Structure 1
Amino acid sequence: MSQPVPPPGNPFAEGAAPQPYPMAPPPAPARGNLGLGLVAALVAALVAGGVYGGIAGAVEREIGWAAVGVGFLIGFAAGKVGGNNPVLSVVSAVLSLGSVYLGQLVALSIIGAKQLNASATDIFFEHFDVLTEAWKEDLDPLTFLFFALAAFAAFAGARKAAA
């Protein structure tokens, strides 16, 4: 005698082959989390400041579009991860100022290392006071323009990425 054939699509019918459960969808990306947005902005600020300083030190001059890129990267990271929280735009702008400052100090340490045949990390960490004095002496209106451009780009980047 033959077994009755279960109706198609009923996994619980007698004699039916076990059906695997469907895979759960992947979790949604973390958006709208202020804490993660702040962490992303801080990490982006440190990385972008180091890259900006490395580029400026290699060519031995500041580059305005690179400061804009630093700011935009920080704002974009904050907005993409943190969502549309207005705090992220303001914090991104402030972090971009610190990032450009860090980049300028890194650039000065690289330039000084070339001139003194020393290590840039030694100059940066062991002679930080001399480095900041050199930065103060090198201040000009263009430096403040780079700060302003970076802050504006960070603010706008955070708003754009969150939209």
Structure 2
Amino acid sequence: PEDYSGYVDREKLLAEENLPKAVLFGVLACIAGAVAWALISISTGYQMGYMAIGVGFLVGFAMRQGKGIRPIFGIIGAALALISCVMGDFFSIVGLVAKEYEVSFMDVLFDASYSEVMSVVIENMASMTIVFYGIALYEGYKLSFSAQKAPEGGKI
């Protein structure tokens, strides 16, 4: 009903959307998630596929800052979550190699054969990690939308 205090029409929600802000926050969360994944993996010495779940949450909630209700927000959130997972995996492998051979991270990053590192990333994805990547994609999509309060029994 129109007089319900929580009633918000679709046009007002669309007017409040801010895709550039959502993308900015999403990209920052994507980078932060990848770095956190790498730091945790390097410090523990283990590649942890379930880090993808946290990355998906992080990116999804960051994208929510744009107050989006259109599918593009979820699509970008899912893509950024996947990119963050792959980057986190990539940086973890580089860091673990650097730690193993006692060289700097930057030396390995700039001198490594990227095809070999990516083959290890793909090998990781072929294991159970792909399940966690899928969860991250889902979270990146689903959590990217603005939280809305709908009137009871009604739809926005």
Q: Is the 8 A contact 2:94 2:105 kept in 1?
A: yes
TM-score, normalising length: structure 1: 0.72
Q: Which 10-residue stretch deviates more, 57-66 or 140-149?
A: 57-66
- CA shift in 2, pair 1:43/1:105, >3 Å: same
Please name the residue that 1:63 is paired with: 48
Given candidates 135, 148, 158, the residue that maps to 2:134 is: 148
Alpha-carbon displacement from aligned partner over 1:67-120 (angstroms, at most 9, x marks no partner): 111011111111123432321111111111110000001111111011111111
- CA shift in 2, pair 1:50/1:128, >3 Å: farther
Note the residue ranges of structure 1 that are not aligned, 5 or more in a row: 1-30
Please name the residue that 1:15 is paired with: none
Alpha-carbon displacement from aligned partner over 1:6-36 (angstroms, at most 9, x marks no partner): xxxxxxxxxxxxxxxxxxxxxxxxx521111
Please name the residue that 1:90 is paired with: 75
Note the residue ranges of structure 2 that are not aligned, 5 or more in a row: 1-15, 149-156
Please state if 1:132 is matched with 2:118. Answer: yes
Bigger Rg over Cα: 1
Q: Distance in 1 between matches of 2:130 and 2:74?
A: 20
Give the aligned residue type for 1:132. M
TM-score, normalising length: structure 2: 0.75
The total of aligned residue pairs comes to 132
Identity between Structure 1 and Structure 2 (%): 23
Higher relative contact order (CA 8 A, sep 6+): 2
Give the aligned residue type for 2:75. V
Q: Distance in 2 between matches of 1:107 and 1:45?
A: 15
Matches for 1:19-58 after TM superposition, within 5 Å: 32-58=17-43
Q: Is the 8 A contact 1:97 1:147 kept in 2?
A: yes
Given candidates 88, 96, 107, the residue that maps to 1:122 is: 107
Q: Which 10-residue stretch deviates more, 64-73 or 111-120?
A: 64-73
C-alpha RMSD over aligned residues: 1.9
